[in-house]
Amino acid sequence: LPNSLEARDIAYHLHSYTDARKHEETGPLVIERGEGVHVYDNNGKRYIEGMAGLWSVALGFGEKRLAEAAARQMEKLPYYHTFAHKSHGPSVELAEKLVAMAPVPMSKAYFTNSGSEANDTAIKMIWYRANAMGEPQRKKIISRVKGYHGVTLASASLTGLPNNHRSFDLPLAGILHTTCPHYRTMKKEGESEAEFAKRCARDLEALIVEEGPETIAAFFAEPVMGAGGVIVPPEGYWEAIQPVLKKYGILFVADEVICGFGRTGELFGSTTYHLEPDIMTLSKQLSSSYLPISALLVNEKVYAPLADESHTIGTWGHGFTGSGHPVAAAVALENLKIMEERDVLGHVREIAPRFLARLQALGGHALAIEARGIGLIGAVEFTHPSLADTPGALGGRIYQAMQDRGLILRNLGDTLAFCPPLVISEKEIDEMFDIAEAALCDVAKGVE
Ligand code: PLP
């Protein structure tokens, strides 16, 4: 219909992560409202949001208390900034809260609006610090192949996926990538998981030595890789990686944008894997994405040189109009409060075994090659000889079949990711996997 939302979307709206050429044909799926773990399209069809939007709507849709917290703050002080010594209650309270929640001692919180901005800001802070400390040569950054850290110029450079580099002339100079810790695809013949983990650490050390340890400032990593395919680190991985960073005095930035606030069954992925980051970047579940907000937590080692009276490099010349936005901060505070009141973390621990059991069962399907997951995040990877030459084709078909049957997931190539709202019930977990299994049968008939 010429005046439909779909037609107007095609006419006027340029989408993220969407092939503009295909969008003209397929048009959008228009989502109208949400309730709990479900969303409804503009034809009234109901879907389970098995990805919590973009790994982010922890409390599910339609949480009235978050809307009310936003409305209260809107009326009291809808906007103020945090430049040049200005502040307001919500930003102070949220900074204090996040520092208190951190799994390792942290000194300060700094606010940004997206995961990409948080990681970009972390790089700028690391560079500023290097200059303040009189170590201007120490600017190189290492992240990992298949890591995902966002899309702004520096964050896209950190991201280790070809699609984020190709066509954009990225990565920026000095941003390097080390081995992806995916055991199944990266292992050498006869190599055990523990041996593979140690080799990942040796690869990291070799890169550091080759580049010159005095030139390496920081290492960025997600505790569990998300958008790169939900890659759960192999046994012994972090135990091997962290000593290498310590040995060369390299700062560790844990990108907790997906893992943070309960996803792995602990408050942070860093807690799950006993990480000792110097900087943590946070977003998504921080506000259940009801409003955009992100944050960096930095420890004393990072903060102290910035505040050192002896440096002469000038004011920290960085900040966003929306840094610490009072309405977003008020929503984040209410979101964290609700998580505590309802013991969402306890709920995740209670139902994660069911989620992981159903994930493994799906991984036993004839089209599946691997299921992997932890807490309430997981993925199943699929393959079929007839589609081996067109990577992503099978994943695309499965994704579509699931959506047709009322389940929205995300296909990362031939891997289907599961990351439901943390408040999902056991019954809804079963409903989600029942749909996934039925959709897989639909697809299997077509490729046999
Ligand atoms: N870091 C991680 C681990 C992410 O998963 C994402 C987004 O999915 C980002 C950073 C970027 O966040 P944003 O899309 O808010 O810029």
At 136 the pLDDT is 97
Using CA positions, which residue lies closest to atom 5 of ligand 1? 258
**Residue 385 sits in a domain of what CATH number?**
3.90.1150.10
Omega within 30 of 0 (cis) for the link into 391: no
CB 62 within 8 A of CB 88: no
Res. 2 pLDDT band, cuts 50 70 90: confident
**How many CB atoms within 10 Å of residue 39?**
22
Per residue in 167-199, pLDDT tens? 999 999 999 999 999 999 999 999 999 999 999
Domain residue limits at 96? 67-341
Same domain, 281 and 291: yes
| Residue after which a domain boundary falls, among 288, 317, 341 | 341
Tokens of 164: 């984020």
In this prediction the pTM is 0.98
Using CA positions, which residue lies closest to atom 12 of ligand 1? 115
CB 395 within 8 A of CB 414: yes
188-190-194 Cα angle (round to 5): 80
For the residues of 41-58, what is the DSSP string, one character each? ETT--EEEETTHHHHT-T
255 within ligand 1 shell (Cβ under 6 A): yes
CB 129 within 8 A of CB 302: yes
> How many CA within 13 A on the CB side of residue 237?
21
| Probe residue for ligand 1, chosen from 157, 225, 258 as the CB with the greatest number of ligand atoms within 8 Å | 258
Same domain, 72 and 165: yes
256 within ligand 1 shell (Cβ under 6 A): no
* Distance from Cα 31 to the centre of ligand 1, integer Å: 22
In this prediction, residues 106-133 reach a mean pLDDT of: 98
**Residue 256 sits in a domain of what CATH number?**
3.40.640.10
Same domain, 329 and 361: no
Same domain, 144 and 71: yes
Strands 279-282, 415-418: parallel, antiparallel or unpaired by DSSP? unpaired
At 111 the pLDDT is 98
175: left (phi over 0), alpha (psi -120 to 50) or beta: beta
Share of the chain above pLDDT 90, in %: 99
Which ligand 1 atom lies nearest to the CA of residue 150?
11
* Distance from Cα 285 to the centre of ligand 1, integer Å: 11
Same domain, 246 and 381: no
| Residue after which a domain boundary falls, among 341, 365, 393 | 341
* Distance from Cα 114 to the centre of ligand 1, integer Å: 7
Strands 368-374, 377-382: parallel, antiparallel or unpaired by DSSP? antiparallel
At 258 the pLDDT is 98
Same domain, 177 and 96: yes
370-157-56 Cα angle (round to 5): 55
Res. 1 pLDDT band, cuts 50 70 90: confident
List the strands of the sheet with 407-408, edge to edge.
31-35, 38-41, 46-49, 407-408
| Residue after which a domain boundary falls, among 311, 341, 371 | 341
Same domain, 150 and 197: yes
Q: Quote the CA–CA distance of 372 and 259 in Å, as a whole number.
A: 15
Same domain, 54 and 114: no
Which ligand 1 atom lies nearest to the CA of residue 284?
15
Per residue in 374-387, pLDDT tens? 999 999 999 999 99
In this prediction, residues 384-408 reach a mean pLDDT of: 96
Using CA positions, which residue lies closest to atom 13 of ligand 1? 115
**How many CB atoms within 10 Å of residue 426?**
14
Q: Which residues pair with 254 in a beta bridge?
A: 221, 280
63 within ligand 1 shell (Cβ under 6 A): no
Same domain, 22 and 77: no
386-390-394 Cα angle (round to 5): 65
Same domain, 49 and 155: no
Please tell me the total count of domains within the chain. 2
Same domain, 45 and 137: no
- The interface predicted TM-score of the complex, written ipTM, equals 0.99
Res. 83 pLDDT band, cuts 50 70 90: very high
Same domain, 105 and 187: yes
The mean predicted confidence, pLDDT, of the chain is: 97
120 within ligand 1 shell (Cβ under 6 A): no
